Structure 1
Amino acid sequence: MKPIYRVFLALLLSVSALHAQQTGIIGHVTDAQGAVIADATVEVRQVGGTIINTKTNADGIYQVPSLTAGDYVVTVRAPNFTTVQVKTSMLIGQTPTVDVVLPIGSTTESVIVRAEDMAVDTTSSTVAGNITPDDVRNLPINGRNYMQLATLVPGVRVNAIVNDTPLGGANSGKFQINLDGLQVTQNTADASFGQPRFSPDAISQFQIITNRFDATVGRSAGVAVNVQSKTGSNDIHGSGFGYFRNDAFNAADPVVHVVTPLSDQQYGGTFGGPIRREKLWYFGSYEGEHQSSGITSSPLLPGSAGNLVFPQILTVNEYLGRVDYQASGKDRIYGRVNGFNFKNDKTFSSGTADPSSAYYATRGNYTILGDWNRVIHTNLINEVHGGYSHFQWENLPLYTSQAITFGAVTVGAPYNYPQIFNQNVQHYRDDVYYLIGKHSLKFGAEFIHSSNTGLFQQNLNGTASGCAAIAAKTVNGVSYTAAQVAADLFPNGTTDVSSWNYTNSTTNPTHTSINSLCALGTFTQGSGNFNISLPRSQIGFWAQDDYRVLSRLTLNLGIRYDNDLGIFDTGMKLNNGLLTPQNNDNHQFAPRVGFVYDVAGSGKTVVRGGAGMFFADVAANQTIDSQIFNGVTSLQQSITGSTANPLNLQSPFANPTATPRQAVQPLGPYVSTPYALQVSAGVQRELPFRTIITADYVHTRVYHDWIRLNSNLLQNPANPQFNLNPSGKYVAGTTVSCPTGGVMPDTTPGAFNVCAQAFTNVNQFFTPNESGAIYDALQMGLRHSLQHGFTSGLAYTYSRLKDSSESPFYYPNKPFVNGIHDEWANGQDDQRHTLTATGDFAWRFGLSLSGLFHYGSGNAFPTTVNTTQPTGYAPSYNRTFALNTTPIAPGATCPAAPCVTVYNNPANNYLDTATGYYLTKRDALYGRNIYRMDTRLQESHQINDRFRAIVAVEAFNLFNHSNYGNYNGIVTLPTYGTPAATTSAATGIPVEWRPRSLQFLARFEF
């Protein structure tokens, strides 16, 4: 008991990050009559690598956990029995069962060698898919982003991988990624803002868990991604490569009918081998990219040239180094350092943005990891992780200016730039693996200290909204076109900020100035402290029992506890009356249960299923906003102009027309951590010809998801017909509105007061129970392993997703808690059918052909409006389009004014009788079907037995199908449903949408 005591003491003192779901080997050793053989010696040797020794327990069971996925030889010895060797291969996240029957004989007899294909996992009920080393090595990868291969996994239903996440837009807290057992997720903002990148030549394989991971994995309400880096071996291996593209081989964009300029070079290499054979190995990789391209913008200013293409330079550097050390027969140690940096000298926040909104974007990351695996006893293993990671991203405007909105057109730098965010994370973790009888136990604890720092200067240069649209004017009987008016406002173009015409003192004084167009608008100016400082300490504890109840039945039983101390900033006390969280969410207990049943006992057919709870990881973004934009730390003051006293945008508060007020967005007082209930049931079957088929029904229900509500209500949420009297209390039959808006505290018990002069909008983050998501799917996969030079795979998902929140920054159309019920609709990530098929065939003479085909039935897109919104309704994704007005079909005659022509399907429109406003359903626009065929034709030349030279050509979107990633979703415009251009190489426009392109590559391997 003394060694166990020491291990559990270390467990309580240890701390770290998300660990990959266990990869290891477990087995049962018997004689020819089925009797168990206790105390048999088991040696597990990685081909070209480490050796681990253990013994069977009294039940004849052995276990070797926490292995690097790859090829292994299991050797079992016992007195008076013939030694048996079993060759096996395993993928990351798998725990194959290698049962061994020892024939009676002498240990000096010939060793029996038997190869086994461990394709069906008989120990885990997790629903997951693996990207194998052959997939990473042989399939075409557009842009060399390894995560694009995620579509090979059933349940990954996106058409394009945006910023290295296998999920769609609603991914906050539903995604985690780890490399070699260390969590590396960027969690300052939403996951879609970018993740650490790894060269495909630096990783050997990865796994995506789409439903029900075990208790060793946490902080995700959706999926987990486990990535494994390459390691050195007893032989020296390496490579050098170059991938090249040019616009001369690209097709034109189907919308703007232009070929975007492009010159792209990706280059690098790997090198690995032994420092001391059988003891110490090393591996290193580097990949760089230099891309000269064009970014397409469609300025909306009158008279501007359409579809402008601006030059853009993008550079990327990725590196990884790893050392593995077999210190002794009981100790294995490895260390790794990796990183990347990304720079884009010019990009836009939108494909239809004005050139003045261009900004400079950078991303950077580095990580250091250490791991020590110690065999304390044949049945007891301890593993300690420790690491540090840094993630940085910046968005810096190229032109320092105010952001001014004229109607639907915005000119100037993005209002919320510059952005400088840093995430520094220390990770410590301890895992204990204990085999007792038929129980394979795992216990663990972890500690993560995160420090989020940076600068977020929102509205620092001022933002004007509600300015009149730039249109034709008549001055003193002289007519001026809209283009002439725009030229007068910006005589040297919008990017020459110093020439902007704020007043009539420049150019022609009879023309329109910026201030005159903004006379009725609102100006917002930010000031104060915009520094970010958010320390977080996350703790986690778990226990997992994989209990082999019967020889054919294994139960997966687990419970996990997590707590994020500091994420809600409970120490914040505001002196303006706004309430913020006073407690953390301390109730994150997550039980999980599953089963795996080997139907025939042959390991070829299993039935699996189970259920569990999974808590999300809360991004720092919401707390950062609450920390800065709370009306105390910084001010976001605004004033509204009038025709008598127009705004002076260059010094808006010199002579304000009204007392400045401000909009704030703190956390609500009772927020909690979102969580998901995940349920699955399925079957996995090994077919002839080295083929595996899987089919799983999965269900995920997310509760308490994030949403923003405007606490500055002008209606009674209990009864919209009740309005406010001057005292701020609800009185039936009284019609009154707050004269200046805002909220303030009231000492009267039970009162709900909303009238004050302090604020315009109080957009607080909440996690109501009504906010969430429901996902149901049939996930099917087919995998054919190498046979006669051919491998193939197929992943099909039939699914439906409904939700009531798009992201933590989503506003419901009706900003009342009881109105969230009306938000339930098909989510933006809803796509009914997704199919990905792959094939790789090796011909004679070193020729090979591989391909990847992807089909998506078209996902949903947001529907919005461009008409005036009712008072108190939310400004974002607001689908209200008419008050007491019957919408008419396009082209129909209006029977009586006012009328609204709505261009979407009338079935998506309905009258909300409580308010008298017509609404259109959320995400009512579905995109067109996606078809994409990527191929690689390759020729390999073997030079001696040591070297190999490869040349290849890859074609992406071979048949040049017109695929679109964005549409006009404004239901009151005749351009509703029309697609947007997809040629830009800008951040956020994935390569999967683009027209046909070719890539040439050359590799040298040894």
Structure 2
Amino acid sequence: MRLARRLSVAVAVVGALLALPAAASAQEATITGKIVDSTGGVLPGVTVTALHEATGTQFVGVTDTLGVYRIPVRIGDFRITAELPGFATITRTGVTLLVGQTATLDLQMAPSTVQESVTVTGEAPLVDMKNSAVGGNLDAKQLSEIPLSGRNWVDLVMLAPGSRANEVGTNGTGGPVARTGRSGGVQGTYNLTMDGQQVTQTVAGTFTNPNFSRESIAEFQVITNRFDAAQGRSAGIIVNAVTKSGTNIPVGTFSGYFRNSKWGAQDFIRHQILPYSDQQIVGTYGGPIKKDRMHIFGHWEFEREPRDIAFTTPYPAFNQDLVNTRTEHKSGARFDADLGGQRRLMVSTNWWRQLLPNRFDLNSSTDHPSAATHELAKMVRVGAQLTQASSRTVNIIVAGVFRQYDNETSYIGNEQVGKIQFNNGLSIGPGLSDVGRTPFRWNPTTYNVRDDFSFSFTAQGHHDVKTGGEYLYNTITDMSWCNYCRGWLDARGGPVPSNIQSLFPVWNDPSTWLLNSIPGSVIVRYRKAIGSPEMHETKHMPAAWFQDDWTIGSKLTVNAGVRYDLEVGAFAENLGLEIKPFLPPNRHADKNNIAPRLGFAYTLGSNTVVRGGFGKFYAQMFARDSFYTHALMQTIIPEITYDGRPDFVTNPFNGPAPTYDQLKARLCSVTGNAPGCIRPDLTRIDSPYMDIPYSYQTSIGIQRQLSSTMAVTADYVQTNLKNTEIQRNVNLTYNPATGVNYPFTDLTRRAFPDWGLVNVVRFSKDGYQNDRGLQTAVTKRFSQNWEMQATYTLATLKDAEPNPVSATIDPATGYVRYDSLPFATARDLGGWYTYSVADQRHRATLNGVWQLPHRFQLSGLYFYGSGMRFATAFSADVRNLGTSGDNLFNRTTGQIEQRNNFVGKPLHRVDMRLLRNFRLANHASFDGIVEVFNLFNHVNYGNYVTTIGAANFGAPVAQDNVAYKPRQLQLGFRATF
């Protein structure tokens, strides 16, 4: 995207906001409390001023008739002043506020007939007496000082209390909600906001999320259970990040970080040192434009990473080393202005560009190197906020644009060569094994505007109310979805040919591939999409909420709220297209998404709070649930069964490929099943009965502050996810005597003989997942030269594999309906509720920063995760389902294998950093940095070969992720001026 276009977007957003009436900035933290006199009587009318020490910005509140004040503020260090005629002014210093924190600061004022003031020093409490949500914070010191291989700040989410991630997806892909990171987690269970603006990639879980520079993030909050009604579009966790801003003191930094394989250990799988290096250069500047009134902050970062992707398949000729260089550019800026009259303006922007060769959606222990792809990804974000506050109200408007671009291409230039799928997980050709996918291009853009209005009043206690609305418009104007567009050959009808290596002599030159020499004994079918892959997608996502935090007496606060979300276009229901008899046109969106939430916080003394509650939380859908179906509405994928011809692989149509119109005229449904007619495949189509996934979240726990600097928390949490994704070939019928499907290849037994594969995706009550855990944390904030945070989680994760259904035509509508089968089916076909993929029993983290004598600093982290579960299956279509399925039936023994029964090895990782600071002239300084990742070189694996029957079953799979790397050394410097 050209710079001029990005600037025009920014100007348009800011201009629109400035044209609005008095509006507000999304609050980052809150200070509240009660002010009494020396006898304990409440003092109404006290003016409370919170001075943000770094910028000089003042935030003002006034106590109500109950003596309670509440001030939404920025994060940072504050000086709190309380003033009332006839009383001595009291000032409290040393108060630090973290993002999302509500700090309760009660004050006592003494009568005075003369002008005098009293100053006390006291930090903000470590426990939240007013809020029942479960989560944690990572502060500015942790963000800047904890060692991170790759310096991706989202990795720090793994250290937050209650986090379940073992890794964050490679180079920005996926999200930290996934314990494996490979699939981005169960969709709609992770949402990231930046300065109040949603910036989550929601096209699909395996696509690239943009990376924001570590230097741009001030701090962030992770809420793992029961966030209030003002936030939504996640059935799991929320991450709220705040960008850095300038201060009254101009400060610039210039940093460099360098890794090299010469300083590291051997690869855990290849048992040799693989060529690798990484160079990161970062610059920042922040300072005042006008002291106490206007400030600016900017950053720029460049990374260059030559790297080696090593293949370790059972076929030595395929084990190439793909060596290439990834590059990444990040930049951004933030502008803050105090407009006077309790009005404030903030505008922030980020820009990102990544060239990612050897994209790693493949399994390097089973896949051919031709499966690798090349990706160019870009992002621009512009967001603006305005603030208007009074003693009782705050009105909030946030507006912004979040735009991405992604273009994925293959290393194999011949687009006539598609994906070939053999047994034992071996796939040859570009892209994902199920659809090929490459080439692929998309440019999703999300426009958002949000209004928050909060106010307080007294009625049977003190009420702090938040109400508002939000509208997101998501559009993809340039999308090319290659759904089988290069062709897909199913060669899983028998064992992998013994001469497989000689069939593909040059990995990236298809002209040398002996495709017609693939034995006919293994060839099953061929698929290729005919039609246009170009699409235009839109989604409309309005929301509204009401939240009341009601303080009853001095001990109890009730957090009651309700939220409504709507997502029009989530399932392609807004396109007006149909695929008869499976999908009628003009379907209705899921409109009944009302989510009540109720919690409480009950104080036991001044240092302990019991908290808990229950709520309903709706997800946001990936765009794939629309564009997969959309693509099938404008393409035809014929099912070409192997007919024994010797040139079938290179000439599957026995002549030129037909056009879309020619195929349409030859459909079996058109010709009355005439010989040679075409049965089209629907490889992934939405059911007409779709509901947005949601979760019920429950928690009960306790927080206790042990001292002025240390606190502990323990919470039992439960997330019951409903309407999870179910995929089934519904073009099957079942034998009531055996409980097994009739073979898909038997056309007479298909539910719809005119059709091929009909792989229907449903989000319905049959799919569910239950996550239960005890999550604990100990936090010691920075004092006496050190700080520390430790977490431990004991958890189970189970999910349901629903029973198959019967698909029949409903006479009343003429379209398909789905009903339960009236008899039991074989266990491997469904009906299991057991431990889920990514189930992990134990998880513990420890991180800390120690300021040592002689200007040395030591910081580090420890991560432990017990063995995690992985899915196992035969690669062949053992039940002749026409699709992959679970494939757990062992045809040799007649037994059914257990579901998700492979447990990986435990993970241990210690990362350490030693820093030495050198003072220079005129307040400048220089830091020399040495970091070691995986200090003890513990062997960690993130994935395994889990194809039953594969020669290398159980073997670890190389992971292009810093969480599973051998020991690495990083040298760095940071100059501050």
| Residue of structure 1 in register with 2:895 after alignment | 918
Q: 2:352 & 2:370 partners in 1: Cα distance?
A: 29
TM-score when normalising by structure 2: 0.87
Deviation at 1:788, TM superposition (A): 2.2
Confirm or deny that 1:31 pairs with 2:31.
Answer: no
Residue 142 of structure 1: SS of its match in structure 2? coil
Confirm or deny that 1:980 pairs with 2:976.
Answer: no
Residue 627 of structure 1: SS of its match in structure 2? helix
Given candidates 763, 768, 776, the residue that maps to 1:772 is 768
Given candidates 965, 971, 974, the residue that maps to 1:1000 is 971
2:801–2:830 Cα contact (<8 Å) kept: no
- Cα gap change, 1:689/1:81 in structure 2, threshold over 3 Å: closer, same or farther? closer
Q: How does 1:769-808 map to 2 (within 5 A)?
A: 769-804=765-800
Residue 156 of structure 2: SS of its match in structure 1? helix
Q: 1:107 & 1:804 partners in 2: Cα distance?
A: 72
Worse overlay, 972-981 or 854-863: 972-981
Deviation at 1:339, TM superposition (A): 2.0
Residue by residue over 1:955-974, the C-alpha shift from the partner in whole angstroms, topping out at 9 and shown as x without a partner, is 10111111111112133346
Confirm or deny that 1:419 pairs with 2:420.
Answer: no
Confirm or deny that 1:541 pairs with 2:544.
Answer: yes
Residue 96 of structure 1: SS of its match in structure 2? strand
Given candidates 705, 716, 721, the residue that maps to 1:702 is 721
- Cα gap change, 1:274/1:517 in structure 2, threshold over 3 Å: closer, same or farther? same
2:46–2:62 Cα contact (<8 Å) kept: yes
Residue 335 of structure 2: SS of its match in structure 1? strand
| Residue of structure 1 in register with 2:666 after alignment | none
Identity score, percent: 28
Deviation at 1:392, TM superposition (A): 2.1
- Cα gap change, 1:723/1:135 in structure 2, threshold over 3 Å: closer, same or farther? closer
Q: 1:741 & 1:1000 partners in 2: Cα distance?
A: 68
What code does the residue aligned with 2:601 have? V
Given candidates 693, 718, 726, the residue that maps to 1:674 is 693
Confirm or deny that 1:756 pairs with 2:753.
Answer: yes
Confirm or deny that 1:71 pairs with 2:96.
Answer: no
| Residue of structure 2 in register with 1:342 after alignment | 354
- Cα gap change, 1:644/1:816 in structure 2, threshold over 3 Å: closer, same or farther? farther
| Residue of structure 1 in register with 2:144 after alignment | 137
Confirm or deny that 1:92 pairs with 2:96.
Answer: no
- Cα gap change, 1:1000/1:991 in structure 2, threshold over 3 Å: closer, same or farther? same
Deviation at 1:736, TM superposition (A): 9.7
Deviation at 1:471, TM superposition (A): 7.2
Confirm or deny that 1:568 pairs with 2:579.
Answer: no
Confirm or deny that 1:313 pairs with 2:325.
Answer: yes
| Residue of structure 2 in register with 1:615 after alignment | 618
Residue by residue over 1:661-705, the C-alpha shift from the partner in whole angstroms, topping out at 9 and shown as x without a partner, is 222122101100111110100011111362110000001111111
Q: How does 1:522-921 map to 2 (within 5 A)?
A: 522-571=525-574, 572-574=576-578, 576-580=580-584, 582-600=587-605, 602=606, 604-629=607-632, 632-643=633-644, 647-650=648-651, 652-654=653-655, 658-664=676-682, 665-688=684-707, 690-715=709-734, 719=736, 739-740=746-747, 754-757=751-754, 759-804=755-800, 822-872=831-881, 874-882=883-891, 899-900=892-893, 918-921=895-898
Q: Name stretches of at least 5 consecutive residues in structure 2 with no aligned partner.
A: 1-15, 658-674, 803-817
Q: 1:336 & 1:881 partners in 2: Cα distance?
A: 57
Q: 2:480 & 2:153 partners in 1: Cα distance?
A: 31
Residue by residue over 1:551-607, the C-alpha shift from the partner in whole angstroms, topping out at 9 and shown as x without a partner, is 12111110111111222232433253222571111111111111111111x2x1111
| Residue of structure 2 in register with 1:750 after alignment | none
What code does the residue aligned with 2:397 have? V
Q: How does 1:221-236 map to 2 (within 5 A)?
A: 221-236=235-250
Q: 2:396 & 2:113 partners in 1: Cα distance?
A: 36
1:615–1:674 Cα contact (<8 Å) kept: yes
What code does the residue aligned with 2:49 have? E
Q: 2:900 & 2:449 partners in 1: Cα distance?
A: 42
Confirm or deny that 1:243 pairs with 2:257.
Answer: yes
2:637–2:681 Cα contact (<8 Å) kept: yes
Q: 2:549 & 2:76 partners in 1: Cα distance?
A: 22
Residue by residue over 1:206-231, the C-alpha shift from the partner in whole angstroms, topping out at 9 and shown as x without a partner, is 11100000000011100000001111
- Cα gap change, 1:312/1:386 in structure 2, threshold over 3 Å: closer, same or farther? same
1:221–1:675 Cα contact (<8 Å) kept: yes
Confirm or deny that 1:286 pairs with 2:300.
Answer: yes
Q: How many aligned positions are there?
A: 894
Q: 1:360 & 1:37 partners in 2: Cα distance?
A: 66
1:52–1:329 Cα contact (<8 Å) kept: no
Q: 1:406 & 1:33 partners in 2: Cα distance?
A: 82
Q: Name stretches of at least 5 consecutive residues in structure 1 with no aligned partner.
A: 1-9, 473-481, 504-512, 725-734, 744-753, 807-814, 883-898, 901-916, 983-988
Q: 1:798 & 1:20 partners in 2: Cα distance?
A: 35
TM-score when normalising by structure 1: 0.85
| Residue of structure 2 in register with 1:389 after alignment | 402
- Cα gap change, 1:520/1:48 in structure 2, threshold over 3 Å: closer, same or farther? closer
What code does the residue aligned with 1:767 have? F
| Residue of structure 2 in register with 1:428 after alignment | 449
| Residue of structure 2 in register with 1:304 after alignment | 317
What code does the residue aligned with 1:433 have? S
Confirm or deny that 1:166 pairs with 2:166.
Answer: no
Confirm or deny that 1:257 pairs with 2:276.
Answer: no
- Cα gap change, 1:99/1:697 in structure 2, threshold over 3 Å: closer, same or farther? same
2:875–2:884 Cα contact (<8 Å) kept: no
Residue by residue over 1:115-159, the C-alpha shift from the partner in whole angstroms, topping out at 9 and shown as x without a partner, is 233211111000011111111111111110111111221211222
2:129–2:602 Cα contact (<8 Å) kept: yes
- Cα gap change, 1:702/1:387 in structure 2, threshold over 3 Å: closer, same or farther? same
Residue by residue over 1:758-778, the C-alpha shift from the partner in whole angstroms, topping out at 9 and shown as x without a partner, is x21111111221211101100
Residue by residue over 1:422-451, the C-alpha shift from the partner in whole angstroms, topping out at 9 and shown as x without a partner, is 211110010001111210011101111111
What code does the residue aligned with 1:463 have? W
Q: 2:895 & 2:596 partners in 1: Cα distance?
A: 44
1:741–1:760 Cα contact (<8 Å) kept: no
Q: 1:19 & 1:589 partners in 2: Cα distance?
A: 27
Deviation at 1:202, TM superposition (A): 1.0
Deviation at 1:103, TM superposition (A): 1.1
- Cα gap change, 1:867/1:564 in structure 2, threshold over 3 Å: closer, same or farther? closer
Residue 430 of structure 1: SS of its match in structure 2? strand
Residue 49 of structure 2: SS of its match in structure 1? strand
Q: 2:951 & 2:526 partners in 1: Cα distance?
A: 31
Q: 1:239 & 1:90 partners in 2: Cα distance?
A: 24
Q: 2:835 & 2:967 partners in 1: Cα distance?
A: 31
Residue 626 of structure 2: SS of its match in structure 1? helix
Q: How does 1:83-482 map to 2 (within 5 A)?
A: 83-87=89-93, 88-106=95-113, 108-162=115-169, 163=173, 165-168=175-178, 169=183, 170-190=185-205, 192-299=206-313, 301=315, 304=317, 306=319, 308-348=320-360, 349-352=362-365, 353-375=367-389, 377-399=390-412, 400=414, 401-408=417-424, 409-414=426-431, 415-437=436-458, 438-453=462-477, 454-466=479-491, 482=498
Residue 201 of structure 1: SS of its match in structure 2? helix
Q: 2:610 & 2:562 partners in 1: Cα distance?
A: 22
Deviation at 1:44, TM superposition (A): 1.5
1:392–1:423 Cα contact (<8 Å) kept: yes
- Cα gap change, 1:1004/1:774 in structure 2, threshold over 3 Å: closer, same or farther? same
Deviation at 1:651, TM superposition (A): 5.7
Q: 1:36 & 1:411 partners in 2: Cα distance?
A: 75
Q: 1:360 & 1:623 partners in 2: Cα distance?
A: 25
Q: 1:522 & 1:275 partners in 2: Cα distance?
A: 67
Residue 992 of structure 1: SS of its match in structure 2? helix
Residue by residue over 1:91-113, the C-alpha shift from the partner in whole angstroms, topping out at 9 and shown as x without a partner, is 11111112221111146213423
Q: 1:61 & 1:398 partners in 2: Cα distance?
A: 65
Residue 405 of structure 2: SS of its match in structure 1? strand
| Residue of structure 1 in register with 2:49 after alignment | 43
- Cα gap change, 1:299/1:928 in structure 2, threshold over 3 Å: closer, same or farther? closer
- Cα gap change, 1:368/1:296 in structure 2, threshold over 3 Å: closer, same or farther? same
2:45–2:64 Cα contact (<8 Å) kept: yes
Residue by residue over 1:824-864, the C-alpha shift from the partner in whole angstroms, topping out at 9 and shown as x without a partner, is 22112211100101122111111121111111111111111
Deviation at 1:417, TM superposition (A): 0.8
